[in-house]
A and B are shown apart, each in its own frame.
Chain A
Amino acid sequence: MQFFREIWLLLQQTTKDNNMFIIKLLYKYLTTFGDYLILIGRSLSRPERMRMFFKQYIKEMSQLGVNSIGIVLLISFFIGAVICIQMKVNIQSPWMPRWVSGYTTREIMLLEFSSSIMCLILAGKVGSNIASELGTMRVTQQIDALDIMGVNSASYLILPKIMGLMTIMPFLVIFSSGMGIVGAYGTAYLGHMLSPDDLTLGIQHSFNPWFMWMSIIKSMFFAYIIASVSSFFGYTVKGGSIDVGKASTDAVVCSSVLILFSDVFLTQLLS
């Protein structure tokens, strides 16, 4: 009897500890979310000098967007080619219309790859770039120096990144879709997997322009998530170089998860 009583007490204690853990975890997440909102509130205030803002805005568009064009085009070309091959090999059959491979390639590129998957890839490249840049500025006291000067450091550093990435991301999505189609033509002309005429027929079949807009709208949301979440992790770093590395990883993980979650809601909302 004593044995069972002890087991029961132990179970009670474990549940109690678990409750504490959950409350602590919830408290931590809510605090972090609150800090994020406060930082974004500070960031979205009117720039002190428009001249300096535009200078930073152009710089960020170049650094975050233009410098990513190469990787976007490279990945999109090969993914477009691979999707086309997979569709031809696994979907195309005598029972299917001959335009099916081109049609599905276009829809996959436009609806998911160029917006969501490309943004996931960019979350890794751009997100870690933003978090490590701001994190390094924090630990080397460059952000403190801005604050001492009376500059709103959040607005000066974060707002141009958010605006810059949101401006350039739709262009990256359009380039990605285009390059995916080029990749598909590569399999037709170079790989002779299907005839270029069939591919063209599929690509032109039942084109819905709203899908392009949907892709662009989604990418702008994702750009905001990447820039703001990564900036938050970088800006709030405490400690040294190890913490900058950790913030960089956290930024990529967190923005990737948020992109995946919001993709579900946005797809449902916009479809």
Chain B
Amino acid sequence: MIEVKHLYKSFEDKTVLNDINAVFEDGKTNLIIGQSGSGKTVLMKNLVGLLTPTSGEVLYDNRDFITMSKNEKVMMRREMGMIFQSAALFDSLTVLENVMFPLDMFSSMNYRERVKRAQECLDRVNLIDAQQKFPGEISGGMQKRVAIARAIVLNPKYLFCDEPNSGLDPKTSLVIDELLTGITKEYSMTTIINTHDMNSVMGIGENILFIYKGNKEWQGTKDDIMSNTNEKLNDLVFASDLFRKVKKAEMAEKK
């Protein structure tokens, strides 16, 4: 479980995150949603330690990440996996080498065991046939799947995904969403996904945190969204005609 308490983040005079309090639970897909520029990525960077909060606490199973020593942070990071918006695969390494990289750095396995483990993870994301290709030779969706395989290869306790569906077609997005949900349940991880893809919100949002201009505006589940009365949230989630019609139909059905 990850808990955020009174988190503030400012860049010089500008406050980007303002008193964020949230709990992200184990074995659930926790979503952070909000408009572009609302502070989602800054919040995630604060959670993983790429940025240091101006004040507040980030608790990983009641261990405060902010006050940890440098070595403790390094050890803590080995329990984290992250999938970046751009996949962030290493260009000079093949798909298999990319997935093996965390094992090469941190495991005591021999070469055969490392290859076997990496291949298991690639198999999990259905990319075993692409293991000898370089990141530049595969599609964006495949790159995201390789990033997922790399993120889970060390069995992390916490998985962070920064807009995993950006730049992908709806069908591939669905595949990525299903993978993330499946992996979260399988490994009982705390998964936090940063997204503004409303298909993902309605599909996999078990715990959703809505951020508006750096403030926590709403928190609930995908089922709560349909009946919520928060205007700002409705403006974001039901921005498209299709979603508005779905909501209308759902509300009519309930009546």
Q: Which residues of A contact B (CB under 8 A)?
A: 48-49, 51-52, 136, 140-142, 144-145, 147-152
Is B106 positioned at the interface, with any CB of A under 8 Å from its CB?
A: yes
Sort A-B residue pairs by CB-CB distance and give the 7 closest, nearest first.
Answer: A150-B77, A141-B88, A145-B88, A148-B82, A150-B74, A141-B84, A150-B78
Is B64 positioned at the interface, with any CB of A under 8 Å from its CB?
A: no
Are A150 and B106 in contact, with the CB atoms below 8 A? yes
Choice from A142, A144, A151 contacting B105 with Cβ under 8 Å: A151
Residues on A with beta carbons closer than 8 Å to the beta carbon of B49: 147-148
Among B48, B85, B89, B105, the one with the most A-chain Cβ atoms within 10 Å of its Cβ is B105
Is B122 positioned at the interface, with any CB of A under 8 Å from its CB?
A: no
Complex Cα spacing A52 to B104, Å: 7
Q: Interface residues of B: mostly helix, strand, loop or mixed?
A: mixed
- Chain B proximity of A51: nearest CB distance (Å): 8
Are A149 and B105 in contact, with the CB atoms below 8 A? yes
Is B220 positioned at the interface, with any CB of A under 8 Å from its CB?
A: no
Choice from A51, A144, A150, A152 contacting B88 with Cβ under 8 Å: A144
Are A140 and B86 in contact, with the CB atoms below 8 A? yes
Is B75 positioned at the interface, with any CB of A under 8 Å from its CB?
A: yes
- Chain A proximity of B39: nearest CB distance (Å): 18
CB closest chain-B residue, reference A140: B86
Are B105 and A52 in contact, with the CB atoms below 8 A? yes
Q: Which residues of B contact A (CB under 8 A)?
A: 48-50, 73-78, 80, 82, 84-86, 88-91, 101-102, 104-106, 160
CB closest chain-B residue, reference A51: B104
Q: A49-B104, A147-B50, A148-B82 are in contact. Are A140 and B74 (CB under 8 A)?
A: no
**10 interchain pairs (CB within 8 A)?**
A52-B105, A141-B84, A141-B86, A142-B89, A144-B84, A149-B77, A149-B101, A149-B102, A150-B74, A150-B80
Residues on B with beta carbons closer than 8 Å to the beta carbon of A149: 77-78, 101-102, 105-106
Complex Cα spacing A171 to B157, Å: 48
Among A49, A136, A140, A148, the one with the most B-chain Cβ atoms within 10 Å of its Cβ is A148
Residues on A with beta carbons closer than 8 Å to the beta carbon of B89: 142
Residues on B with beta carbons closer than 8 Å to the beta carbon of A150: 73-78, 80, 106
